[in-house]
Amino acid sequence: MKDKTLLGGIIVMVVGAVLIGVVWALFLQPSRTPTEPIAAIPLELGEDADQFTLLEIVPDASEVTFELDEVLRGLPTTVMGGGQQIAGQIAVDFENPSDSQIGTISINARTLATDNEFRDNAIHNFILDTETYEYITFSPMQISGLPDTFLANEAIPVEIAGELTVRDITQPVVFSGEVTADGRTQLTGSATAQISRADFNLQIPNAPGVANVSNEVLLTIQFVAQ
C-alpha cells in the first residue's frame, strides 16, 4: 500500500511539473525581442526604374493591427493588438498610376502586443511561434482601382490581392482600403482584410477563463510612405 501511495505521489509530482512547464512555456516565458531593426525588402523595378518614384513605409508613422473576439471570464471581449514594426517599398508611377507596384510588406511578429502580457506571451511563444518565424509577410500580386491620374490629397479606393505568409503557411488574401497622394513625396493609406485562423493553422492554447475565440481575424495596415 505504501509503495502504491509513493508511486501515486511521484506521478502527481511529475504531472504537476509538466503542467508548470507548459504554463511557463505558453504564458509566462518572456516574449522574444527583434533580432534587428525592421527593414524593407528592396523592390526590383528592372529597366523601367526611372519612371517610378520609390517611397518607403515609415515604421514610426505606420501601424499594423489585428482584431478578434473571445469570451474572457464569461464576458464577450474584443481583443485588439498591433505593432509599428512594419516595412515595405512602394514604386509609384505618377504619370501612369496603374503601373505602380508594391513590394513585399514585412511585419515583425515579435513586436505585436495586446493589453494583456499573458496573452502576448501565448501569441509569441505558441500561436505564432515567433522564435522560429520572426516575420509575417504580405506579397502583393495585383492592385485594382488605381486611377488614370493622381489628384493631390484625394482618397482613392483600392484592392490589393496577394499572398500572406504566417509562420510557414501562405494563403491568398485581398486587402481593401484607400490611398492618398500628397504631391509626389508622400503616400498615405489604410487597408483591411479578414482572414481565417484555421487557414493558417493558428491554434489557441487552453487557458483558464478563455473560451470561444473567433476564427475570423481582422487585419488592418495603416501606413505613411515617403
pTM for the full predicted model? 0.83
Helix H segments across 73-159? Answer: 117-122
pLDDT digits (tens, 9 = 90+) for 158-212: 999 999 999 999 999 999 999 999 888 999 999 999 999 999 999 988 777 788 8
Measured in Å, how far apart are the chain's first and last C-alpha atoms? Answer: 76
Largest CA distance in the chain: 88
Gap between the Cα atoms of 102 and 98, Å rounded: 11
Q: Look at strands 210-211 and 216-225 and give their pairing.
A: unpaired
Q: Is the pLDDT of residue 3 over 60?
A: no
pLDDT digits (tens, 9 = 90+) for 19-68: 333 343 444 455 568 999 999 999 988 888 889 999 999 999 999 999 99
DSSP secondary structure letters along 161-204: EEEEEETTEEEEEEEEEEEEEETTTEEEEEEEEEEETGGGT-PP
pLDDT digits (tens, 9 = 90+) for 203-222: 988 777 788 899 999 999 99
Going along the chain from its start, the domains and CATH numbers come out as: 31-225 (2.40.128.110)
